[in-house]
Amino acid sequence: MPLSKSIKDICIPLAEYPHLQDTASLKDAFTVLREAFTTGKRYRHILVLNAKGQLTGILGMRDILRGLFPDYLRTKEHPRHQDPIPDFPALTLIWAETCQSQCPAAAENPIKGFMGSIPAKVNIDDPLTKAAYLLVVHDISMLPVVEGERLVGVVRMIDVFNEAAKLVLHD
């Protein structure tokens, strides 16, 4: 039965998943994700590690793009599913005039300042049902996988979804 499998059955090993040290730049993040896309991998997140190799955050495409924004556009105050603050679209016109020169400079900033927190993680021996639950409850598309305290990989929503589809569709 597909959902009776454990995380280790579908875990993507850390060595195969994009990850960077927290001192890396946004430009490095663009490079890593772009390279993953050109090799056929459709990863949308980067695991962020400290100098000791410990997971400190997750950096998604949205976070990377937000890192390019000028300060006056960089906000997290309005919830994701509400309309943006009405004045912000007008401010993007101002940014359009300076974007060509500002973006390369902003891309030199360290990713540490733009990464998101880690809302949950799973153990390599946990059942897929736990991953399914955490992915849905936290509204995320990827979970870090640990073995004890050591980061060993990730499990993605698409992979858990595919296992559920096998169960539902009798594959």
**Are residues 21 and 163 in contact, defined by beta-carbon separation less than 8 angstroms?**
no
Helix or strand holding residue 65 (H, E): helix 61-68
**Are residues 149 and 5 in contact, defined by beta-carbon separation less than 8 angstroms?**
no
> Which pair of structure tokens corresponds to residue 154?
């990730």
Q: DSSP characters for 81-114?
A: TSPPPTTHHHHHHHHHHHHHHHHHHHTTSBGGGT
Neighbour count for residue 15 (Cβ, 10 Å): 8
Q: What is the pLDDT of residue 3?
A: 64
* Eight-class DSSP state of 169: T
Could you report how far apart the first and last alpha carbons of the chain are, in Å?
A: 10
- pLDDT less than 70: residues of the chain: 1-3, 72-96
Which domains, and CATH codes, for the chain?
2-168 (3.10.580.10)
Query: pTM of the full predicted structure?
Result: 0.83
